[in-house]
Every structure is written in C-alpha cells, then in structure tokens.
Amino acid sequence: MVSDCVPPSAPWRPIMDFSTSILKTVIQILHDGARGFEEFGSSLRSPEARELFLKEAQIRLAFAQILDSELARFDKKNTNLGGTTVGTLHRSWGELKGHLGGGDHALVTTASQGEDVAVRTYRDVLDHPDLPSTIRPILLSQLGHLVESHRRVKQLLEASAPR
C-alpha cells in the first residue's frame, strides 16, 4: 500500500489520513447552532438576548462557510451541508418548552445545551491525530469564540432564571 511507504513526516500524509467526516460534523453542528440562535433569537423577549442570538446565528454561518471552503480542498463533493436531525429535534423541543410557559429561560437553556455540544465537538475534533495543520488554527480560533459565546449564553441563562 502506498501510504505504508510514505514517511510520517511527509507534508501531505495528514491530508490522506484525515477523515472528512469529522469536518463535516463540525459544519453540521455550526448549521444547527445558526438555526437555533436564529429561531430562538426571534422568539426571545429580552432585547439583549435577542441581539446576541441573532448575531451568533450570523457568526455560525460565517464559520461554516470558512470550513466549507476547507472541506472542498479535501472532498469536492458533499459540500453545502445542512444541520443534523438531532439538532432539529433539539430546537423543536426548546421551542415547545418556550411556548408552554418556559419563556426566555427555556430557550436560553436549550441554546446553552447546544453550545455544550458545539464546544465538545470542537475539542474532540482538535484532538484528532490526523487533523490537517491548515484546519487546526481555524478551529482553534473558532473554538475561542464558541467558548466566549457559551459564557455569555450562561450569563443570560442565570439572568433569565425564574426567581
């Protein structure tokens, strides 16, 4: 097999070993987050929370576009990914809780749970041994933003808690 003859230090080896499915997962998580922030943001009563959520929706889409471009370098087909079925169900459950009297707190709780998944996914992907060196700094930068965004969502969660 050709890959057995390639020294581990060969600059293109990580690209050959890298599974694009993990990058696709990150892109799908970003699409889920963008939809969740947009849907929940339009339903929130708090102007501060609404502004944050709608801004984060746009940021998630921008992050996904950056990663879509990187994915196209490794996999010419199967770009233009959407979200996941699990993400759709999660958002629907959050909307239902919000409409059943949970209000902003239910929506922000659901968003915080989604942020937990996004941060965990990024960390898992960054631990992948064959992650191409061109993608690592992009993910690290995006993860920094996700962690800060999650912190802000948690602050909104505390502020929206029933007293």
- Please report whether residue 78 resides in a domain: yes
State yes or no: pLDDT of 152 exceeds 60: yes
- Please report whether residue 6 resides in a domain: no
8 A C-beta contact, residue 67 and residue 30? yes
State yes or no: pLDDT of 23 exceeds 70: yes
Distance CA 102, CA 116 (A): 20
Q: Where are the alpha helices (DSSP H) in the chain?
A: 2-5, 13-17, 20-43, 47-74, 85-97, 103-126, 136-160
8 A C-beta contact, residue 54 and residue 38? yes
8 A C-beta contact, residue 81 and residue 27? yes
8 A C-beta contact, residue 161 and residue 48? no
8 A C-beta contact, residue 74 and residue 23? yes
Band of residue 80 on the pLDDT scale cut at 50, 70, 90: low
Residue of higher predicted confidence among 14 and 149 = 149
State yes or no: pLDDT of 9 exceeds 70: no
- Please report whether residue 39 resides in a domain: yes
- Please report whether residue 95 resides in a domain: yes
Q: Of 124, 123, 121, 91, nearest to 109 (Cα)?
A: 91
Distance CA 63, CA 86 (A): 20
pLDDT of residue 12: 38
Band of residue 137 on the pLDDT scale cut at 50, 70, 90: very high
128: number of CA atoms within 13 Å, CB side? 24
Q: What is the pLDDT of residues 112-121, one digit of tens each?
A: 999 999 999 9
- Please report whether residue 112 resides in a domain: yes
Distance CA 12, CA 83 (A): 30
* Domains identified in the chain, total number: 1
Q: Which domain holds residue 30?
A: 18-160
pLDDT of residue 81: 56
Q: Is the sign of the CA dihedral 117, 64, 81, 74 positive or negative?
A: negative
- Please report whether residue 136 resides in a domain: yes
- Please report whether residue 3 resides in a domain: no
- Please report whether residue 99 resides in a domain: yes
Supply the CATH number for residue 135's domain: 1.20.1260.10
